[in-house]
Amino acid sequence: MLKYLNCFSKNRSNNNSVPRLDQKKLRSTDFPINPPKSDFPSDVLKWLKLNASPRFLYKLMKVCKYFQQKEPFFFPIKSLCIYKNNATYSLLNGTESAVIPFKSLPSNLWITKELTFYFDLPKSLSDIFSKISVSDVRELWLKSGKILFKDFKFLTDEGRIRLLKFNGTVVIFHQNDEILVPLETILICVPKIEHIVFANNIVPSFHSNTSAKNLILPKLKKFVLMEFNENFNLELFFDFIKKHKNTEFEVIIKKQEFSPEFTKQLQIQLDKLIKQWSPKYEPISFTFPNQTADSSVALAKLYDQYVKRKFKPGEHLAYYGY
């Protein structure tokens, strides 16, 4: 639809970065009340001006003066941190705000990079979402508590998330529900993810064989897991690792004590992976209680082979810090 509107702009911009409008200049400008004369239906232009989303409205503003607003329709910020009933934010230039009551935040936020929830998440995030006009969040930090899947989908809906960290946070389908959203369902929501961390909480398992086996995250660089229980599907997880050989995997199990049978199955899967692993790729870092010394040594050897293969003679010593 925008191609029909481009004819109205003498100076079109291809810059897709977050806008920084000169509000003083806008307020001093006479804004047209009626749509410009064109072959495009005027009623449609009127409807767009009233109903377009903030993101689309900004694009319209760049191609036609008719869509410009006397009052700013968004408040662009770089990051937003929420602490229970308070919040802080940073502007696009990096200036940090003081801690303010959450209710004092503008209701037209445009978040361009990072969103962090500290402490327990509230049962309902509707009050928070009502403050967000546009979410271009690329880094999402969820610290403590539970989050409903519908709320998680809202935060990741644009598919822009590059870094996702769960710190004591789990995703559930319904309030008062202890059933965790499957791992593949979470990962499908973040197709451009580069770095994901599950810290200080039980990691959900892969559930669907088909979904898990078809799941490919081409930009994934690092995957960190800390703690999972015996409901964790080891076979599907190790299949996921094999399909992401360019990803750095770090699995650290310290608190969880496994049964002898589960420990045995975990060791079998790890040993099988070590035998199949090529030194062309960085090997997985994997530690768990009662892990055999042989597998720890084998992983260390694989890592040494990988480093020597990746770096020229002598350079690998610098990699190790010598």
The confidence score (pLDDT) of residue 223 equals: 97
H/E stretch holding 132 = strand 132-135
Q: What is the pLDDT of residues 96-125, one digit of tens each?
A: 888 888 888 888 888 989 999 886 666 667
Cα–Cα distance for residue pair 231/180, rounded to 1 Å: 11
| β-sheet bridge partners, residue 126 | none
Contact between residue 225 and residue 252 where contact means Cβ atoms under 8 Å apart: yes
The confidence score (pLDDT) of residue 18 equals: 41
The confidence score (pLDDT) of residue 3 equals: 43
Domain ranges in the chain with CATH number 3.80.10:
75-319
List the Cα angle 217/222/227 in 5-degree steps: 105
Q: What is the pLDDT of residues 165-224, one digit of tens each?
A: 999 888 999 887 778 999 999 999 999 999 999 998 788 999 988 887 789 999 999 999
Closest CA to 220 of 253, 254, 186, 171: 186
> Dihedral through CA 26, CA 32, CA 33, CA 35, nearest 10?
-130
Query: What pTM was estimated for this model as a whole?
Result: 0.77
Backbone angles phi, psi at 25, to 5 degrees: -65, -40
List the Cα angle 16/22/23 in 5-degree steps: 120
Cα–Cα distance for residue pair 280/245, rounded to 1 Å: 9
Q: Is the per-residue pLDDT at 301 higher than 50?
A: yes
Q: Does domain 75-319 have CATH number 3.80.10?
A: yes
